[in-house]
Structure 1
Amino acid sequence: MLEISHLAKRFGGVVATNDVSFTVQAGSISALIGPNGAGKTTIFAQISGFHKPDSGDVRFEGRSLLGLAPEKICLLGVTRTFQIVQPFAGLNVRENIAVGAHLHRAGRRAALEHAEAIAHRVGLGPQLDKPAAALTVAGRKRLELAKALATDPKLLLLDEVMAGLNPSEIDEIIPVIRGIRQAGVTILLIEHVMRAVMNLSDHAWVLNNGSLIASGTPSQIASDPQVIEAYLGHGAAARMQAQKDMGAQHA
């Protein structure tokens, strides 16, 4: 469904993405993970048209997205959420979601009805008439998800939709995301909550310093020495292996 080919982007002397290539299969939940500053959100920005790559290509359902405006890419079926959620504070939950629904529905009534249906899907049904500004962090995250979902995406890019949530809130949103996939939406997510990545993802790619360093199932990448080094620092993989060996000797 989504093909990323040799994607590169620089900001001055900083290499944000460096020759990144991967393919997202239709119907999957995939994860793009890595330390802070690895370039993950920059890749989302290039896919969704907010940043133009210096080189490489982004193809969705066989069509290149290069040069298309974000709203055109959204019309084609690629929608993203943002790390920093910014609801329309002067509107209630229903009206916020309806903004996304208007992408394919010109009439206000149809947009509001669709917004209500989406709110129930993400667990915001009881808060439809609540001012968006009065939502908790967890509520705002669900609203960000609902606004994106209201555009009827084929591919949904979720940028740290679980950041700032406590463990019980994470447990509550995981089945919501799984249900979105079951409804036919392909999902690519950026996430630091590894429990969620392990539970949700069919496949994951690990980015560090703008380059892909590992790819595989979540269990495969969790034991990859390069991934351990990227997250925990130089020598971490060797230390962890030494602890395992020591534990095995005393068992």
Structure 2
Amino acid sequence: MLKAHNLTKRFFGLVAVDNASIDVPEGSITGLIGPNGAGKTTLFAMIAGFSPPNEGRVVFQGDDITTEKPHLRARRGLARTFQIVQPFAGLNVRDNIAVGAYLHTKDPTEAKRRATEVAEKVGLGRELDKLASGLTIAGRKRLELARALATRPKLLLLDEVLAGLNPSEIRDVLPIIRKIREEGVTILMIEHIMQAVMNLCDSVYVLSQGKMIASGEPKVVCTDPAVIEAYLGHGAAARMQAEGAAHA
């Protein structure tokens, strides 16, 4: 469904993403992981159209969309959430979600009907008339997800949708993400919480210092020495292997 080929992004000489490629099959949940500052959100921004790449191509459903504006990509069915959630604080939950629905309708009644439908899917059905400013962190994360879903995406880019949630809240959100996939939406997600990555993702890509250093099934990738060192520092893989041998 999505193929990002050799994407590179430079900021005044700093290479934030360096020749990174990613392939997201239709119907999958694909993870993008890596240490803080690895370039994950920058890669998302290039895929979603918010930041043009210096090099490389973005292909969505067979069409080259590298130079398309974000709103045109949204009309194609590519939506994203943002790591820092910024709802319209003065609007209620229903109207916040309806903003996304207006992408495909000019009818306020239809937009609000769609908003209500989406709110139920993400567990905000009882919060529809509440001001967005009154939501908890978990509620705001669900609202961000709902606003993206209201655009009727084919591919959903989730940028740390679980960040800031406690373990109980994370457990509540995982089934929602699975259900979204079951309803036909392909998902590419940035996530630091490995419990979620292991439980949700069919495959995982690992970005470190702007370069893609590994990809594959989560359980295989997480034992890759290069991935361990990217997270824990040089020599960590060897130390872990030595400790394992010592306890064997």
Specify the alignment match of 1:106 in structure 2: 106
Residue 97 of structure 2 is aligned to residue 97 of structure 1: yes
* TM-score normalised by length of structure 2: 0.99
2:106 and 2:65 map into 1 onto residues whose CA distance is 25
Q: What is the RMSD of the two structures over their aligned residues, measured on CA atoms?
A: 0.5
Q: What residue identity is the alignment partner of 2:116?
A: E
Where structure 2 has 5 or more consecutive residues not aligned to the other structure, the ranges are: none
Which position in structure 2 is the counterpart of 1:210?
210
Partners in 1 of 2:86 and 2:216 — Cα distance?
A: 33
Q: CA deviation at 1:78?
A: 0.3
How many Å apart are 1:65 and its aligned residue?
Answer: 1.1
Q: How far 1:141 moved relative to its partner?
A: 0.2
**One-letter code of the match for 2:53?**
P
What CA distance in whole angstroms lies between the structure 1 residues aligned with 2:221 and 2:61? 27
Aligned to 2:185: 185
Tell me how far 1:119 sits from its aligned partner.
Answer: 0.1
Which residue is 2:128 aligned to? Answer: 128
- Name the residue aligned to 1:27: 27
Q: Secondary structure at the match of 2:219?
A: helix
2:234 partner letter: H
1:164 corresponds in structure 2 to 164
Give the drift of 1:213. Answer: 0.4
Equivalent-residue separation in structure 2 for 1:13 and 1:197 (angstroms): 33
Other-structure match for 1:117 = 117
Aligned to 1:42: 42
TM-score with structure 1 setting the length: 0.98
What residue is the counterpart of 1:6 in the other structure?
6
* Structure 1 counterpart of 2:6, one-letter code: H
Q: Does 1:53 align with 2:61?
A: no
Matched with 1:236 is 236
1:45 maps to a residue whose letter is A
Amino acid at match of 1:174: L
- Pair 1:142 & 2:142 matched: yes
**Counterpart secondary structure, 2:214:** strand
Q: CA deviation at 1:246?
A: 0.6
Q: Which amino acid counterpart does residue 205 of structure 1 have in structure 2?
A: Y
- Tell me the equivalent position of 1:66: 66
Identical-residue share of aligned pairs (%): 60
Distance in structure 2 (CA, Å) of the matches to 1:3 and 1:24: 6
Per-residue deviation, 1:22: 1.9
Residue 165 of structure 1 deviates from its aligned partner by 0.2
Match of 2:162, SS state, is coil
Structure 2 Cα separation of the partners of residues 83 and 107 of structure 1: 30
Residue by residue over 1:85-135, the C-alpha shift from the partner in whole angstroms, topping out at 9 and shown as x without a partner, is: 000001000000000001001100000000000000000001010000000
Aligned to 2:78: 78
Question: What is aligned with 1:220?
Answer: 220
| One-letter amino acid matched to 1:155 | L
CA distance in 2, matches of 1:143, 1:55: 34
C-alpha offsets along residues 19-70 of structure 1, whole Å, 9 cap, x if unaligned?
Answer: 1112100000000000011010001100111000001000000111121111
Q: Match for 1:170: what amino acid? A: I
Q: What is the CA–CA distance in structure 2 between the aligned matches of 1:103 and 1:167, rounded to whole Å?
A: 34
Mapped partners of 2:40, 2:75: distance in 1? 23
CA distance in 2, matches of 1:183, 1:157: 16
* Bigger Cα displacement from structure 2, 62-71 vs 82-91: 62-71
Give the Cα separation in 1 of the matches to 2:141 and 2:193: 14
Q: Which whole-Å CA distance do the structure 2 matches of 1:220 and 1:32 have between them?
A: 14
- Measure how far apart 1:13 and its partner are: 1.7
Which ranges of 4 or more aligned residues in structure 1 deviate by more than 3 Å? none
Query: How far apart, CA to CA, are the structure 1 residues paired with 2:67 and 2:123?
Result: 36
Q: Distance in 2 between matches of 1:64 and 1:17?
A: 20
